[in-house]
Amino acid sequence: MILGLDTFGDVPVDDTGAPVSHAAAIRQVVDEAVLADELGVDAIALGEHHRPEYSISTPETVLAGIATRTSHIKLASGVTVLSSDDPVRVFQRFATVDALSNGRAEVILGRGSFTESFPLFGYDLADYDVLFEEKLDLFVKLLDEKPVTWSGTTRAALEDADVFPKTEGRLTTWVGVGGSPQSVVRTARHGLPLMLAIIGGQPERFAPYIDLYRRAAEQLGTVAHPVGMHSPGFVADTDAEAKELFYPAYKVIRDRIGALRGWPPLRRAEFDAEAEHGSLYIGSPETVARKIAGAAGKLDVGRFDLIYTAGPQNASARMRAVELFGAKVIPMVRDMISEA
């Protein structure tokens, strides 16, 4: 069971309650990753965003910095918005991170639930589906690290093109999916591992997607890899402290995004219900560990990443959450799974 952390580089606040700079927020993530590595956390995934609330627009750049200060932790994006990027350049950048980290780089590719990158880089949202379909097809070909011939409608064709640098082993590549059956089948068709973004509701409702992935892989003659999932949460010394530290900042970012998507403002009762029964993993180390172990067992997944940042949280509290996750939650989860 791989147990990791996930962040979009949310801009935190300092101990006076003032937001830090984007530069300081990026350095905060690096420090959190270094601590996670020291404590034996298996992986850290950095998401790509192009909004003021988040500091990370190029995950692989931050991962390269983390690579030089860590030894064991896997370094992933979560996700790289492939639709608005170039597959060749994405491969080259992650191959570079893989070199710097001695083979620890992973890329999680996605279509992007946020769309700011499309107009920013000159892409038409009307091409949302075809952009990802074609670019994923090319990226999968690049993974073989042999000369590639490819043509499509979304970028220039390639004729026997060789791409450098080469890795010392195949670049680990996942596809992040938020709940589209078509995306699940596409992932299976390419023989890639599936990472499910489960950010609300009971995690068991995603069981049919995992079953679909495995059935599709069998019918298509590809490999069904162990499935991963990531969900938001927070760890503190007690359940009450975790909720009080997490809720105010979570409500800020949830309501800001919700206003753009037509969601009503978050109510505390809704938050408490989601923490109790849904896909918010919030509480003391034992509470969070029990919930992770329970969800992992019900869904039969091989990886769980905790999205440990949400909105303008206190930077010190975030570091404490990373410490508790690595030092206490992970050993508890492993014990619970082994005893199940």
pLDDT at 284 (0 to 100): 98
Decide if 304 contacts 1 (C-beta within 8 A): yes
- Which tens digits make up the pLDDT trace of 244-271? 999 999 999 999 999 999 999 999 999 9
Proportion of the chain in helix, strand, coil states, percent, rounded to 5 = 50, 20, 35
| Cβ within 8 Å of residue 21, ≥6 positions away | none
In the numeric block, the tokens 């992040």 are attached to 176
According to CATH, the topology of domain 2-339 is: TIM Barrel (3.20.20)
Average pLDDT, the chain: 97
Residue 173, class by beta-carbon neighbours within 10 Å (0-12 exposed, 13-18 middle, 19+ buried)? buried
**DSSP conformation class of 126:** G
- Which tens digits make up the pLDDT trace of 209-236? 999 999 999 999 999 999 999 999 999 9
Would you place residue 82 in the very low, low, confident or very high pLDDT band (cuts 50, 70, 90)?
A: very high
Decide if 73 contacts 41 (C-beta within 8 A): yes
Please compute, for residue 12, the number of CA atoms within 13 A of its CA located in the half-sphere on the CB side: 23
Q: At what angle do helices 128-142 and 87-100 cross, to 10 degrees?
A: 50
In the predicted structure, residue 20 carries a pLDDT above the cut 90: yes
Residue type for position 95: A
Decide if 84 contacts 118 (C-beta within 8 A): yes
The 10 Å CB-count burial string (b at 16+, else e) for 112-133 is bebbebbeeeebeeeebeebbb
pLDDT at 194 (0 to 100): 98
Q: What three-state secondary structure class fits 244?
A: helix
pLDDT at 179 (0 to 100): 85
Report the 10 Å Cβ neighbour count for 151: 11
Would you place residue 113 in the very low, low, confident or very high pLDDT band (cuts 50, 70, 90)?
A: confident
In this prediction, residues 289-308 reach a mean pLDDT of 98
| Cβ within 8 Å of residue 220, ≥6 positions away | 188, 189
pLDDT at 335 (0 to 100): 97
In the predicted structure, residue 340 carries a pLDDT above the cut 90: no
In the predicted structure, residue 112 carries a pLDDT above the cut 90: no
In this prediction, residues 20-38 reach a mean pLDDT of 98
Would you place residue 48 in the very low, low, confident or very high pLDDT band (cuts 50, 70, 90)?
A: very high
pLDDT at 273 (0 to 100): 96
Q: Rounded CA gap, 162 and 232, in Å?
A: 39
In this prediction, residues 107-115 reach a mean pLDDT of 92
Q: Rounded CA gap, 281 and 237, in Å?
A: 14
Q: Rounded CA gap, 44 and 308, in Å?
A: 11
Residues in the chain: 340
Decide if 79 contacts 109 (C-beta within 8 A): yes
pLDDT at 160 (0 to 100): 98
- Rounded to the nearest angstrom, the gap between the alpha carbon of residue 112 and the centroid of all alpha carbons in its chain is 11
Nearest of 204, 194, 91 to residue 148 by alpha carbon: 91
Decide if 9 contacts 299 (C-beta within 8 A): no
In this prediction, residues 309-324 reach a mean pLDDT of 98
Nearest of 260, 282, 261 to residue 271 by alpha carbon: 282
Would you place residue 310 in the very low, low, confident or very high pLDDT band (cuts 50, 70, 90)?
A: very high
| Cβ within 8 Å of residue 236, ≥6 positions away | 242, 245, 283, 284, 317, 320, 321, 324
- Which tens digits make up the pLDDT trace of 133-175? 999 999 999 999 999 999 999 999 999 999 999 999 999 999 9
